[in-house]
A and B are shown apart, each in its own frame.
Chain A
Amino acid sequence: MPVAWATLRRTWTMTSRAYPWSYAVGCLLSGILTIGLSYLALHAIGGGTVAADFTARTGGADYLGYIAIGAGAFMFTVRLLLWSSKALITEQRQGTLGALLVAPAGRLPYLLGFTGFALANTVVEVGLLGGFAALLGITLPACHPLAALAGILALAFAVFAVSVVLGALMIVAGEAHISQNTVFLAVSLLCGITFPNSYLPAPARWLAETLPVTSAMDVLRGALSHGAGPAELAPRLLTCLALGAGYLLLGLLVLPGAERRAIERSY
């Protein structure tokens, strides 16, 4: 725990002195514009109506609410994944990865501390996006706060687990830009972020099931727009947690090898 706490404090200090504005503004803008796009499309083109098959698939005609929940969850996923998976490659770029590896601190507490900070940061940023949605008059008529909290925590855990694997990939490949953007775009297409993923062909849906974001989205939508309780959502919640545990295990298995490769590559 002291390692996690120290990492959190270090990251907090660094970020409060040099906040990565352009990244944060870019992610926030992208969320705002997604909601803005659907708002304009609904009112200027659709005349406030959506197709019947959308209503049938999602169990509600609230198109804007659907997009807003998706955009918020997507921004949460992206920001958390950016922070946590880029922790190791940032150390590598700054030339401190070697020092981190010989330090007597465990890697898991280090990553947990980093993610703890990122979580606090991300919640504030997603709050801003929620504020924008509220300005447009988007409301959540039926919301089950306890189930929603469970969904958010499950999503955070799953994203942390995925970021361990992605972080290992990044330090082996020595680049972050391509891998991170490809993952983000795949998530936005597959995981039911701005449209129900039953529109997609079957193989894409199977692929989506291997990403924990898909099941977390089901939980969040159930809790936020249908008012479903934890008991109802338990199967999807457990799916998300199980997938997260699987990714975490995989990440911890490949991380030592990845670190060895990264050090060998740089000398």
Chain B
Amino acid sequence: MPHEPIDPVGIEWSRVSEKYLKVRVISALIGHVVFVLILSVPLVMRLLGVWIWPAEWIAWALPIVGLIWTIIDVLFIIPRQVRAIGYAERQEDLLIRSGIMFRKLMVVPYGRMQYVDVEAGPVDRAFGLCKVKMHTASPSANPEIPGIPEAEGARLREQLSARGEAKLAGL
């Protein structure tokens, strides 16, 4: 796992599942296909002769730009984003990092967790993955770890709840 300058030193990061990349790519592709289809509307209309106002090159350029963006997103951005997600369980708290352009690093003490959710969408389920979501009393410290195998998710949930219970303090 690449070490980013803002990371604290000496922390062993756990990575999310390899399969999570596929989940992200599939979800992203669905969105991108819809987007490219919308961008192709002027081209189709022009080819059918319904519209004549967009210059032909604009009509072609729109879906092509959409396609290029899709390729960049799927081939470069998403893999890097997925690689950037990491979590580490420490003695007193849970560390989570994410983001490449906008990096975010979060630490949430176990004693502050109010409850823990495990969620799985249809694509997640197809790959046997889930998302663990933790809730604290603060709206900005609600960390989530996406794309972890279901067994690991169940273990984390148990672990976090148990540790949270043991260390639970008042607000």
The yes or no verdict on A and B being binding partners is no
Q: Which B residues lie at the A interface, using CB under 8 A?
A: none
Task: Identify the A interface with B (CB < 8 A).
Answer: none
